[in-house]
Amino acid sequence: MRAVRGEILHFTSDPAVGGTEALRHFADGLLIVREGLVAEAGPADALLAKLPADARVEDRRGRMIVPGFIDTHIHFAQTDIIASPGGQLLEWLERYTWPVEQAFADPAHAATVAEFFCDELLRNGTTSAAVFPTVHRASVDALFEAALRRRMRIISGKVLMDRNCPEFLCEGCEGGYVASKELIERWHGRGRLLYAVTPRFAATSTPQQMRLAGRLFAEHPGVYLQSHLAENRAEVAWIHELYPEARSYLDVYERFGQLGPRSVFAHCVWLDDADRARMAATGAAISFCPTSNLFLGSGLFDLAKADAAGLRVGIGTDVGAGTSFSMLQTLGEAYKVLQLNGQSLSPERAFYLATLGGARSLYLDDRIGSFAPGCEGDFVVLDPAATPLLARRSAACTTLAERLFVLMMLGDDRAVAETWVMGEPAWRRP
C-alpha cells in the first residue's frame, strides 16, 4: 500500500459539460494506492483515520497531485529532430523526418532512443502515450521493451508506408500486413501495452495498403488505429488528387474501414462539419497538437466545433514537429491557439483534456486519467513553486483555477517534481 498526502485534483467528467461538479479537489488530500491501483482519493483527515497506525504516509503538502498525463500523439523516432527549422509539413517530412527515421532499422539505435524517450516522458509527467515508431519492426520492439520495463501504458504499432516515401522506408503492402499481425501477437495486451495499426497518413499508403490496414483493425478487436488527418492545406489538396473519389480526407479513412472506437487521428485542423459528424458517429477521436500546428504553420484547431459535434478530443505533443515533451507547455500553447481562433480554454478543461479527456479519447477511462477507485495508480506531483517566477506568481493566486492556469502557462518539466507509475516512484526531480 502507498499513501501520498498533498493537494489532490482529478476529474469525473468534462468540466465544459459538468462545470465544477466535474472536479474532485481536496486541498489537503490523501491518495491511497493498493497493489498498483487507486484504492481511494479524498480528504486527508478522514482517510488518515482509516489507515493502519503503522502505515507510512508520503508527505507532499504544498504540491499538487494529478493523474499521470496522457499524450495522445507523439513520434518517438523524431526525438532527435525536435526543433529543426524551416518548411511546412510536406517539406519538413522530406527534409528531416525521412532521414532520421531511416536509422531505426538498427535495433541498437532504436533501443537507445526508446530508453531516452520513455525517460523523457516520465520526466515530464507523462505516464501514457499513443506513439508512432517507424516502419521498422526493431523500432516497435525497442519502444515496447523500454515501456514494459517502466510499466508505462503505451499504445503503438509499426508504421505502414508503401508509396510517396524514400525506398528505404517503403515496403510491399503484404509485408506490412504480415509484420503487423506478428507484432500484434507479440505485444498487444502484454503488461500495459496496446497495439495500434499505424498507416502513417493516406498519402504514404496505396489504396491496397489502406484496405489491409482497415482489415487489421477489424480482425483484431481491442487493437487501436492511429494516423494523421487534415493537418495542412497542401496535404489536404494532395489527398484529393490521390483519392479523387473520396468526399473528403476523412472519407478516405472511412472508406477503408479505419474509423471507429479506438481510432485516433492527429491534428484534424481542416475538417468540415460533415467530417466531424462522421467522426463522432463512428466513435473516432482527435488528438489536438497545438505546438506542432504552430511550429509547422498548419492552422488553428477548432475546439468549439469539435465540442459541438460531440467529439472525443485528447492532447498530443506530436514531438518532433511538436516543440515540447511537456504536457503543461502544450496546454499553454493550446490556450494560445484557441485565443487566435476566438475561443477560450479554461484551466480546468485544459487539465481535464490532459488526463481524463485523453483517457476517454482512447477508451481507457476505466483504467487511466483519474483517481476513480480501481484506476491504475499513475500520478504526477506538481511543484507550483518550481522556479522563482512560478513561486512568486503562484503565491499571488487566490483560486484553484488561477493556480492551474499559472502552471500551464509557466510550467514545464521543471514543475514535475515526481512521476509515479502503478503506485511506485518512476521519476524524481534531483
For ligand GUN, the binding residue among 201, 217, 265, 427 (CB under 6 A) is 201
Should residue 97 be labelled a site residue for ligand GUN when binding is judged by CB under 6 A? yes
Should residue 200 be labelled a site residue for ligand GUN when binding is judged by CB under 6 A? yes
Residue 153 site contact among Zn ion, ligand GUN, none (CB < 5 to 8 Å, cut-off depends on kind): none
Distances (CA, A) of 254 to 3, 50, 251, 258, 284: 46, 52, 5, 6, 10
Least CB distance to Zn ion at residue 175 (A) = 23
Of residues 258 and 419, the one with the C-beta less far from Zn ion: 258
- Euclidean distance between CA atoms 386 and 244, whole angstroms: 53
Least CB distance to ligand GUN at residue 330 (A) = 14
Residue 231 site contact among Zn ion, ligand GUN, none (CB < 5 to 8 Å, cut-off depends on kind): ligand GUN
- Nearest Cα to Cα of residue 95 among 160, 159, 167, 166: 166
Of residues 66 and 77, the one with the C-beta less far from Zn ion: 77
Instruction: Extract the C-alpha cell encoding 154.
Output: 503505451
Residues 6+ apart with CB under 8 A from 310: 280
Size of the site for ligand GUN (CB under 6 A): 11
Which listed range, 20-28, 261-269, 332-340, 400-408, lies at the site for Zn ion (CB under 5 A)? Answer: 261-269
The CB density around residue 139, as the number of other CB atoms within 10 Å, is 29
Least CB distance to Zn ion at residue 78 (A) = 8
- Characterise 37 by phi-psi region: left (phi > 0), alpha (psi -120 to 50), beta (else): beta
For Zn ion, the binding residue among 171, 254, 318, 378 (CB under 5 A) is 318
Residues 6+ apart with CB under 8 A from 196: 130, 155, 156, 157, 223, 224, 225, 226, 264
241: exposed, middle or buried (Cβ count in 10 Å: 0-12, 13-18, 19+) = exposed
Of residues 75 and 312, the one with the C-beta less far from ligand GUN: 75
For ligand GUN, the binding residue among 7, 120, 141, 318 (CB under 6 A) is 318
Should residue 162 be labelled a site residue for ligand GUN when binding is judged by CB under 6 A? no
Residue 118 site contact among Zn ion, ligand GUN, none (CB < 5 to 8 Å, cut-off depends on kind): none
Instruction: Tell me which residues touch ligand GUN (CB under 6 A).
Output: 75, 89, 93, 97, 200-201, 228, 231, 292, 318, 321
